[in-house]
A and B are shown apart, each in its own frame.
Chain A
């Protein structure tokens, strides 16, 4: 049976957010796009295991996250310092237009443990509920809550914010945030 039109639309609609999640996991756009590609191939090959009426994004995020984890673990065996490697990947990336204003924030994010980083992104940026994030990560809701809290606290420390007045010395960031939604 050809893929149902509504299913195809749901997959397409999930791609932008899936990419943003992948980039936040990998810290590298090219690797992230490969990860998205592999995720889509897996998902489409197993599309019959998707239950209609359930959340397509959550389903795709789960596949991507599991695939990334198994790859990551493999690489971790090769390179003991996984954290350092992530930060290095980020630093070695050529500067891209539109990236510079988030540099400080990205670098802080890169220093979080992977569990905390993914929990924070899922809940704080992808817009999943704690329950959905727990399902995607295969852990308890309380674990997600705790990871998100730790991630926020650590980020605030890394960015040296104790109050909103002190938020970042970066005027560009302020300008972007003050400007609201980007086109």
Chain B
């Protein structure tokens, strides 16, 4: 399992990373850069569903070592690339 070292990752490159992760994991035929930082991920224009949410959560766990628990916490974390990045960075500070 490869876990990215979060101490060497700045916010901008983390977000770029996450967009690529979303495109790959959810098999979206779009440019990662076309995802806005605050675009709604699940149920928004990106047309991602609850299975995509689970797929992203597991990929985030494998890549960054950050567990996103189910329920309201997951819904908050997976709202947008911004909230996902915040969740990952805040997890690191805990």
| A, B: real partners | no
Measuring CB to CB, which residues of chain A are less than 8 angstroms from any residue of chain B?
A: none
